[in-house]
Structures are given as C-alpha cells and as structure tokens.
Amino acid sequence: MTESLTAAVAILKKNKLKLTKQRHALLAYLLTNQGHYTDVVAVDAYMRTEFPGMSHNTVYRNLKEFEEVGIVEQNTEQERTRVKYQCDFHHQHHHHFICQNCGKVTELEMCPMDFFTAQLPGCSVTGHSFELYGLCADCQATGAPATTLVKN
C-alpha cells in the first residue's frame, strides 16, 4: 500500500467505514488519477465495469462518504461533478490551480480569505470555494489552447 492509500484506510477506520473490495478498488482508481479531477460518470463507469452488480447509488454514496471524511475533493464546473483524491491529508483546507488543457491540478499553499474578509467589516463568512483556471507551464510552452472541458 502506498502512503496515501494507508492514510485513506486509516481515515476510513477512524470514521467506522469498512474497507470493502469495492472501496479499495475505488481508492486505487482515484489514486491513479490523483493529479486530476475525474468526472463522476467516468468513476461510476469504471466501478461498474470492475463490479458489474454494483449500483450507481453505491458508487455515488461511497464518493459522498469519501468526501465527507476528507478522502475525496469535489469540484463542480458547468453542471459536471468531478472528484479527485485528497492531495493533502494534513491540510484539508486548500485551493487549486486547474489547467484547462490537460486537467493537471496544482495545490495552492495560501488561502486568500484574509484579503476578502478584511473588505467585509462586520460580516461573517461561513464558507468559500476558490480555484484558479488557466494553462499549466507545460501546456503554455506548447501553445495549447485553454478549453472549458478538462480531460479525465
């Protein structure tokens, strides 16, 4: 088991969620795509190929449970829900730069909330989501165009 998979298994146990064959396969699949968001439809298709009797509800429920315990990060863009394996178990709160050509995800180390809350005296911010989109250095160097659809 990789260090990341070991950490995920520990989180499952801590939250009293069993490590079934299906959950292990789901974690392994997400790990293989760790640097990118993957459309949940593609995750569902993969899991139902590996486990033909598995229902859509089971796949989506497991993804939701993984998100709730911090194993999976979720992103919704243009009504498409995508997930990726948590990139930093030690810093659950973080943000990303997402390449609009290759889909590569880069973790950002700083949260810009202090900048924004300073402009909102007397207000209470209860949550936020912050992501940057553009072209990564590799795609920029090749002259690739930014697209609105990110590859799986």
- The CA distance from 33 to 97, in Å, is 16
Residues 6+ apart with CB under 8 A from 3: none
| Out of 37-41, 44-48, 62-66, 95-99, least confident range | 95-99
- Please check whether residue 99 is in contact with residue 148, taking contact to mean a CB–CB distance below 8 angstroms: no
Structure confidence by residue, pLDDT tens digits, 55-113: 999 999 999 999 888 888 887 777 788 888 776 555 556 777 888 888 888 777 777 77
Provide the whole-model pTM.
Answer: 0.67
Does 136 count as an annotated binding residue?
yes
The per-residue pLDDT for 88 is 58
Does 102 count as an annotated binding residue?
yes
Residues 6+ apart with CB under 8 A from 98: 37, 75, 104, 105, 106, 131, 132, 133, 150
Q: Mean pLDDT score of the chain, rounded to an integer?
A: 83
Does 139 count as an annotated binding residue?
yes
In terms of pLDDT, which residue wins out, 82 or 25? Answer: 25
Does 111 count as an annotated binding residue?
no
Q: Using only C-alpha atoms, what is the Rg of the chain?
A: 17
The per-residue pLDDT for 74 is 85
Domains of the chain: 3-85 (1.10.10.10), 95-142 (3.30.1490.190)
Select, from the ranges 41-50, 78-87, 112-121, the one with the highest average predicted confidence (pLDDT): 41-50
